[in-house]
Structure 1
Amino acid sequence: MGVVGVGNIGGIIANRLVESKLFQPKEVFLSNRSTEKLKPFIERGYAITGTGEISKLCDIIFLCVKPQDSERMFEELGPAEDRILISTMTAVSIDRIERKTRAKRIVRIMPNVPAMIGEGLVGACRSSHVDDETWQTCLRVLSCLGTVVEVKEEQMEAVTALSGSAPAFFFVILEALIDAGIRMGLSYEKSRLMVLETMAGSAKLLLKLENHPGEFRHVVTSPAGTTIEGIYRMEREGVRGALMKTIHETYLRALQLKNELNDQLGG
C-alpha cells in the first residue's frame, strides 16, 4: 500500500489504514515533498520512500497531493500501468490520471472529515477498467474511512458540496444550537452533550428505519405546541431555503474551481 502526500487527507488515510488494522505500519509506504510531515510516521514505523519507488513497490497507491502539484507528482511517480490508483485530487479527472500514469484501474474519491475516526462518507467513482473484483478490493480498503457511495464522475462536485464541505456547515449549526442552550441557562458542557447526542440519535434513527425526515418531524410536532412554533419560525426566517442555497452555491464554486484548474493545467 502506498500514499503519495501526507497532508491533511493523506495523513488521515495513512493513519486509518493502520488504525483499522488493515495493514501494519511497515506495509504502508509513504512519500511527501516535506520530510517534516513524515516525522510522526517514521516514529510509528511506517515505510518511507520516494514517489518513484512507490510506483514500483505498491499494488494500490493513494494520490493525495494538491491538484496544483499533480504535474510534478506525475513526473516523479512515472508509469504505473499495473497499479490501482486511488486519487483524492479535486478536479483532476480519471482521463488525465490515465494519460499521465498509463494506469487503467483508477478510482477518484472525496472523503470528508469524519473519516478521521472511520465514520466518514466517501464519494467515489471508477474508471471503466475497474472490474467488480478490483472494485471490491478498493471498497475493503476504503472501508477504513467510512461508508462508500459510488457516483458518476460528473457528480463529484455535488459530492464535494453535499458531503465534503457539509461538515463545516453542520459545525456552524451545532455551534448555534449549543449557544442557544447556554443562552437559556444550561452549561456549555450540558448544552453541547444534549445537542450532539440529539443530532447523532436523529441521524441514526433515519439511517436505521430509512424513513423520510418529514415523517419523524410530524411525529415530534403536536398541534399548537412548542415544536410547530419553532418550525414556523424557521420557515419565516427562510432556514430551509438558506441551507439549500448554501449547498448549491458551494457546488457552483466547486465547478468553477474545476474549470479554473483545467485551464491552468491545460485540460
Structure 2
Amino acid sequence: MKLGFIGCGNMASAIIGGILNKGLAQPEDICASVKTQSSAQKIQNTLGISCTTNNLEVAKTADYLFLAVKPQFCTDVALQIKDALTDKQVIISVIAGKNLEWLKEHLGNDKKIIRTMPNTPALVGEGVTGVCPDNLTSDEDLQNVLTLLRSFGQADIVTEPILDIVGAVSGSSPAFVFMFIEALADGAVAEGMPRKQAYDFAAQAVLGSAKMVLETKKHPGELKDMVCSPAGTTIEGVNTLEKEGMRSAVMDAVRACIQKTRKL
C-alpha cells in the first residue's frame, strides 16, 4: 500500500508519524510533496520518508492520496493532479470547507473520495477525526483509511453536514482549551505560583478532567456537581464564570468557527 501526501505541514506530519509508529506502513511506502526543496529536505530528515516538490509525482504513485493543503491552494493543486488520478485510488481530503461536491467537481466524479477532519492533538497521539466517505468508496477501502486515521487517536464516521461541526467542536477547540489552560495558570501566577508549575498543574487538571468524561461516561454537569461542595470554594468560582458568560462565549465561538467553515 503506497501512501501519498500533497502538503506536509503539522497535520500531515502527525498522520504520517502515527502511521509509522504503529507500523502500518514503512517509510519507503510514503511519499509527500511540499512547496520548497528546503522543506522537502527537512521532512526527509525528520520523518525518513521520500519528499519532493512535485505534486504530480505523488499523485501518480499513491494508492491512498491525502490532500493536506490550505483551502486557498486547493484549486491550483486540483488542476495540477486531476488528469493523473485514477478511479482505483482513494483520495482522503484533510481540507477544511471543501465538501464532496466541490472535490468531485474538481477531481472527477468517478473518483473515490473521503473527507476527514482531524485535529492537532494528533501530534501527541490523542487526535480525533471525523470521517465522511462518498458512495464510491468500498467498505474495504474505508476500513483501511479508518485504520490509518486511528493510528494517532480516535476516528469515527459522520455525515457530511456534521463534518463542519466536527471542525469546530474538535478541530478548532484545542485553541480554546489552550486559552483556558493559560488563563488558569495566569490566575495561579497572580496569586504567587511559579509559572511553569502553574502550567503543569493546569494542564494536568484539564487532561484528567477530559479523561473522567471519556471513561466514566457521566454527564459533564454531573461531574461538575461532584466538585462543587455546599458553600465551598469551587461553587464560588463557577458562579463567577456564569456571571461572566463563559458558556455562551464558548458556544458563540464554536458557532463562529462553523459559520466561517461553511464560507470557505
User: Would the TM-score normalized by the shorter structure come out above 0.5?
Assistant: yes
The letter for the 2-side match of 1:80 is T
Contact 1:80/1:101 (8 A) holds in 2? no
Q: Equivalents in 1 of 2:231, 2:80: separation in Å?
A: 66
Q: Equivalents in 1 of 2:208, 2:14: separation in Å?
A: 26
Q: Secondary structure at the match of 2:170?
A: helix
Aligned equivalent of 2:106, options 100, 108, 111: 100
Contact 1:55/1:80 (8 A) holds in 2? no
The letter for the 1-side match of 2:115 is R
Q: Equivalents in 1 of 2:260, 2:223: separation in Å?
A: 33
1:55 aligns with 2:59: yes
2:97 is matched with: 91
Q: Equivalents in 1 of 2:235, 2:70: separation in Å?
A: 46
2:80 is matched with: 76
1:177 aligns with 2:184: yes
**Which stretch has the larger CA shift, 158-167 or 96-105?**
96-105
Q: Secondary structure at the match of 2:121?
A: helix
1:240 is matched with: 247
Q: Equivalents in 2 of 1:146, 1:15: separation in Å?
A: 12
**Which stretch has the larger CA shift, 169-178 or 183-192?**
183-192
Moved over 6 A (4+): none
Contact 1:85/1:106 (8 A) holds in 2? yes
Q: 1:208–1:83: structure 2 CA closer, same or farther, 3 Å change rule? A: same
Q: 1:212–1:25: structure 2 CA closer, same or farther, 3 Å change rule? A: same
The letter for the 2-side match of 1:58 is A
What's the CA shift string for 1:182-234, capped at 9, x where partnerless? 12222222222211111111111110110101111111112111122111121
What's the CA shift string for 1:62-121, capped at 9, x where partnerless? 011222222222232223211011011122222232333335321111111111122111
Q: Equivalents in 1 of 2:70, 2:234: separation in Å?
A: 45
Q: Equivalents in 2 of 1:198, 1:59: separation in Å?
A: 42
Q: Equivalents in 2 of 1:48, 1:251: separation in Å?
A: 33
1:206 is matched with: 213
Aligned residues: 257
- Name stretches of at least 5 consecutive residues in structure 2 with no aligned partner: none
Shift of 1:52: 2.3
The letter for the 2-side match of 1:142 is L
Q: How does 1:123-138 map to 2 (within 5 A)?
A: 123-138=130-145
- Name stretches of at least 5 consecutive residues in structure 1 with no aligned partner: 259-267
Shift of 1:15: 3.2
Percent identity over paired residues: 32
Aligned equivalent of 1:22, options 24, 30, 45: 24
Q: Equivalents in 2 of 1:241, 1:45: separation in Å?
A: 46
**Which stretch has the larger CA shift, 142-151 or 94-103?**
94-103
Q: Equivalents in 1 of 2:40, 2:78: separation in Å?
A: 20
The letter for the 1-side match of 2:49 is Y
2:117 is matched with: 110
**Which stretch has the larger CA shift, 203-212 or 77-86?**
77-86
